[in-house]
Structure 1
Amino acid sequence: MPISETWLLPDGVADVLPEQAQVIETLRREALDFLASRGYQLVYTPFIEYIESLSSLSESNQDLDLATFKVIDQLSGRLLGVRADMTPQVARIDAHVHPQEGVARYCYAGTVLHTKPQGFNTTRAPLQLGAELFGSDSIDADVEMIDVMLNLLNTVNYSEGIHLDLGHVGLFRSLVKHAGLSKAIERHLSDLYQRKALPELAEFTATLNNGQDFYVLGRYASDLDTLESKLSAEIFTDIAFKQAFDALKTTKAEIQARWPNLHIGIDVVELRSYHYHTGLMYAVYAPNRAAPLAQGGRYDGIGEHFGRARPATGFSCDLYALSAGQFETIAVVVAPKGTQADLIQAIQQTRELGFSVVQLLGNDDIQSIPHATHQLVKASGEWTVKQI
C-alpha cells in the first residue's frame, strides 16, 4: 500500500479528536454517574465472544446477525463474533455469570462494531451506552426505564423539544395470531405498516380474515382513542390484545404525569426490531434529527439462550450521536521550566483548580505548545495564570 494511503480509515470509522473527545467523555461520565444514582450497576463486557453466545438475539433478529463481524479464533478454531450490541452480553451476565433473585439493574458503555452503518451518515463503531432491567414483567418496570432514559437525556442537556414515541408489538402480534395468518402474510403486513402504505394496506386487508382490524390498526396508529372506537369488539375479547392495548394507554398516562410538558406520540405499527421486542417499544427524537437519540423496549425471555429466561426491558444510545456537533475548548496552562519549590507548588495548585498544566521541556518555549490558552507567570513574587 502506498504510504499516502496508510493513514486512511475504513468507511464508517473515524478518529475522535481532543475537542470532541472531551465532550464525549464528559457525557459518558455524567450518564454513568446518573445511572449509578438510580441503582444501575456498571458492567464491562468483552469485545469478542463465541458466536453462539452473541447469537442469543440473532436467532430472532436477523438484522443483528448481519451486523455482526465474524472471525476465526486462532486458539480454538471456533467462530467468534465482535459485539454489535451489548444487550445479549448483559443478558448472559444476568442469566449465568451473575444470577441474582429479584430485580437486577445493569448499565454499560463501550464500543460496538457493525458490518455496515445502521443508518444514514452513521458510524460503524458506535459508543453504545445503555441500561437494562431484568426480573420484572410489570408496567412499572417499563415506566421506570422510560423515565430513566428521559432523565439521562436531561442530565446530558438534551431536554428541549424532545419527542417520545411509544408503541407495542403485542397489538400487531396478537392480531396476527387471532386471525391465524401465515408468516408470509405477517411479513407483508409488517412491510406495509413500515412504509405507511395505506392504499396498499386497504386493498390487501380486504382479502384477510379480520382484515378491517388490520386496516384500522394502520389507519389510526397514532390515536389510541379513535383506534379503540374503530376496532372490532371481537378483538378486545382477545386477552393478549387487550393487555397490550391497556399497557400502552397506562404507560402513556404515567409518563405524561411525570413529564407534563413532554410531547408523546403513539405509533402502534412502528415495528422496528419486531421479532426482537416482545412488548412496549420507545424512542426519543430531537428536532431536525431523523435518528432517535435513544431507544429501547421490552424483550422478555432474552436469557433463555443461557438457561434462564427472565422478563427484561432496556434502552441504549450512541454517545457519538449525542455529542454530534459539540466541541469544547480545552484550557491548557503552560508553565516554565524549573524545579523551584514555589513553581512546583504553583503548578500543583493550578491543576487543583481544574486546569491542565503542561511544563516546558528542554529548549522548548511557549510556541511549542500550539494549543496553549494560558501561561503561568511570576509577577511581584507571586505565580499567576494569565490568558495568552
Structure 2
Amino acid sequence: MMKWLLPESVADALPDEAARLETLRRRLLDLYQAHGYELVQPPLIEYLDSLLTGAGREMDLRTFKLVDQGSGRTLGVRADMTAQVARIDAHLLNRAGVVRLCYCHSVLHAQPADMQASREPFQLGAEIYGYADLAADLEIVRLAAATLQAAGAPAARIDLGHMGIFRTLMTLAGINGEGEENFFKLLQRKDIPALEAETADWRPELRAAMLALPRLYGDRTVLAKAREVLPKVPAIHKALDDLDALISQASDLPLYLDLSDLRGYHYHSGIVFAGYCQGRSAAMVLGGRYDGVGAAFGRARPATGFSLDIRELCQLATLPLAPAAIFAAALPVDANTDARDARAQAIQRLREQGERVIDALPGEMQTPGVNDVLYSGSVCDRVLVLMQGKWIVQAS
C-alpha cells in the first residue's frame, strides 16, 4: 500500500475547492453574525459520556473512541457539534434569557452516513437557546432558508414535521423503549406493510392514526386531514396548531408537510424540518426543536437549531471565481536598494487594494499557455512592470 493513500471516504481539499469552502464559510458566518449569532468553537475531543449526551445509538456508532492516557477515561472524537454547543450554553455561558450561537468546523464519522458521504463533514449550524415559543422555530427555519439562498442554492422545498405527534401516539399506545424506536424507523421508511403488522392488536382508532401518518404529506390541506384522523388530544392539537402557524407566518418559503419525516429520535421534541435543493435528492439542511437537552449539563433549556455539511452545500453553491493574480517578476540580482524599495511599495499598495500579487522568487518565471498558469500553480492575467520609472500593471 502506498503511504500517501487516504482512508476511504476521506479526501483532501485542493486549492480550488478549499478556496470555495472558505469563501462559503465566511459568507455564511457573516450572515449569522448579522443576525446576532455568536461563533463558538467546541474542542475536537471530549469525554465520551459528555459528547454522546442525548445522542443515541446511531451517533455512538459514528463516534471514534480512544483512551485518554492522562485520566484513563474514554474520549470521543466529535461526530456532531450540537450537544457540544448545548453544553457551552448550559454550563459555560450560563446566561439568562435568549442565547444565539453558531459554529463551523470539521467533525469525524467512524462510518459514512451513506455510500457517497464523507467521513469528515464540515459541519455548520446555528442554535437558539432559552426560548420555548414558535417564534424561535420560525427564526431558525428562516435562517436555514437564508443560508441556502446565500450560497446560491435556494431551497426548493422545506418539509415540516412534529415529533410531538409521534411521541403522543406512542404514549397512547403504551409503547416505549426499543418498541418506540422501532416504530420511529418504520415511519421514517414509510414502511406501511410493516406498520400494519406491528399495529394489528392496537385499538382501531390508534391503528388508523398510525397508518395514516406516512400518507399525511403535501401542502397545508394535510393539516385538515390530520385533524380528522389523529386522536383528539391536546398535545396533538398543539402540534398541528404550531405547524399551521409556522406555515402562515412563512408563506414566502416553500414549506410542505410530511408528518412521518422524522429524525433525532433521542433528542428532538417538537417541530423538525428538512431543506432540499434542486439537483440533490437528499436533504441539504436538517433542523428542529430539542428542548431539555441541556439538562445533562446542569440546566435544561429550550432549544432549536439546524446544521448542514458545508462540503455538500459547496457542490451546489454559486460562488465567484477566485480573482486572478498579478505576477511581479523578480528584479535582477544587481538591482539597487531604491529599485527594490519602489517595487516592494508598489506590491504593498496593490495588496492593500485587495489584489492578489505573486512576488516572484529569483528565477521564478511566468509560463505561457492556457490561463497563463505559473509554475507555482497560481493563475495570473496581469504583470507588474517598470515603465518610465513607475511600476504599473498591464495585461500579461
TM-score w.r.t. the length of structure 2 is 0.89
For 1:228, the aligned partner's letter is: A
Q: Once the 2 structures are TM-superposed, how far is the Cα of residue 377 of structure 1 from its aligned partner?
A: 1.6
Given that 1:19 and 1:330 are in contact with CA atoms closer than 8 Å, whether structure 2 keeps it comes out as no
Tell me the distance in 2 between the aligned counterparts of 1:240 and 1:120. 38
Out of 253, 256, 259, which is 1:268 matched to?
Answer: 259
Q: Once the 2 structures are TM-superposed, how far is the Cα of residue 199 of structure 1 from its aligned partner?
A: 4.3
Q: Deviations over 1:48-98 (max 9, x none)?
A: 11112102123xx21111111111112222111111111111111111111
For 2:272, the aligned partner's letter is: M
CA RMSD after TM alignment: 2.1
In the alignment, which residue of structure 2 is the partner of 1:248? 243
Tell me the distance in 1 between the aligned counterparts of 2:178 and 2:123. 34
Q: Once the 2 structures are TM-superposed, how far is the Cα of residue 325 of structure 1 from its aligned partner?
A: 6.2
Q: From the superposition, tell whether residues 370 and 95 of structure 1 become closer, same or farther in structure 2 (CA, over 3 Å).
A: closer
Q: Once the 2 structures are TM-superposed, how far is the Cα of residue 200 of structure 1 from its aligned partner?
A: 4.3
* % identical equivalent positions: 40
Given that 1:198 and 1:219 are in contact with CA atoms closer than 8 Å, whether structure 2 keeps it comes out as no
**1:325-344, aligned counterparts within 5 Å?**
328-338=321-331, 340=339, 341-344=341-344
In the alignment, which residue of structure 2 is the partner of 1:104? 99
Q: From the superposition, tell whether residues 7 and 351 of structure 1 become closer, same or farther in structure 2 (CA, over 3 Å).
A: same
Tell me the distance in 2 between the aligned counterparts of 1:16 and 1:230. 47
In the alignment, which residue of structure 1 is the partner of 2:309? 318
Q: Greater CA deviation, 13-22 or 367-376? A: 367-376
Given that 2:54 and 2:266 are in contact with CA atoms closer than 8 Å, whether structure 1 keeps it comes out as no
Given that 2:330 and 2:363 are in contact with CA atoms closer than 8 Å, whether structure 1 keeps it comes out as no
Give yes or no for the alignment of 1:43 onto 2:50: no
Tell me the distance in 2 between the aligned counterparts of 1:111 and 1:378. 46
Q: Greater CA deviation, 327-336 or 301-310? A: 327-336
Give yes or no for the alignment of 1:376 onto 2:396: no
Q: Greater CA deviation, 191-200 or 113-122? A: 191-200
Out of 170, 175, 199, which is 1:181 matched to?
Answer: 175
- Secondary structure at the counterpart of residue 57 of structure 1: coil
Q: Once the 2 structures are TM-superposed, how far is the Cα of residue 178 of structure 1 from its aligned partner?
A: 1.7
Q: Which runs of 5+ in 1 are unaligned?
A: none
Give yes or no for the alignment of 1:172 onto 2:151: no
In the alignment, which residue of structure 1 is the partner of 2:371? none
Q: From the superposition, tell whether residues 117 and 387 of structure 1 become closer, same or farther in structure 2 (CA, over 3 Å).
A: farther
In the alignment, which residue of structure 2 is the partner of 1:215? 211
Q: From the superposition, tell whether residues 274 and 223 of structure 1 become closer, same or farther in structure 2 (CA, over 3 Å).
A: farther
Q: Once the 2 structures are TM-superposed, how far is the Cα of residue 182 of structure 1 from its aligned partner?
A: 4.8
Out of 147, 153, 157, which is 2:148 matched to?
Answer: 153
Given that 1:134 and 1:310 are in contact with CA atoms closer than 8 Å, whether structure 2 keeps it comes out as yes
Q: Once the 2 structures are TM-superposed, how far is the Cα of residue 21 of structure 1 from its aligned partner?
A: 0.9
Q: Deviations over 1:339-388 (max 9, x none)?
A: 52321221112212322212122333224434341321223443232343
Tell me the distance in 1 between the aligned counterparts of 2:274 and 2:17. 25
Tell me the distance in 2 between the aligned counterparts of 1:275 and 1:222. 26
Tell me the distance in 2 between the aligned counterparts of 1:114 and 1:79. 17
Q: From the superposition, tell whether residues 222 and 120 of structure 1 become closer, same or farther in structure 2 (CA, over 3 Å).
A: farther
Out of 289, 295, 306, which is 1:304 matched to?
Answer: 295
May I ask how many residue pairs the two structures share in their alignment? 377
Given that 1:217 and 1:227 are in contact with CA atoms closer than 8 Å, whether structure 2 keeps it comes out as no
Give yes or no for the alignment of 1:20 onto 2:17: yes
Tell me the distance in 1 between the aligned counterparts of 2:271 and 2:125. 17
Q: Once the 2 structures are TM-superposed, how far is the Cα of residue 201 of structure 1 from its aligned partner?
A: 3.5
In the alignment, which residue of structure 1 is the partner of 2:221? 225
Given that 2:213 and 2:260 are in contact with CA atoms closer than 8 Å, whether structure 1 keeps it comes out as yes
Out of 268, 271, 276, which is 1:285 matched to?
Answer: 276
Q: From the superposition, tell whether residues 72 and 188 of structure 1 become closer, same or farther in structure 2 (CA, over 3 Å).
A: closer
Q: Deviations over 1:210-229 (max 9, x none)?
A: 21111222222435534534
Q: Which runs of 5+ in 2 are unaligned?
A: 332-336, 368-374
Tell me the distance in 2 between the aligned counterparts of 1:114 and 1:53. 17
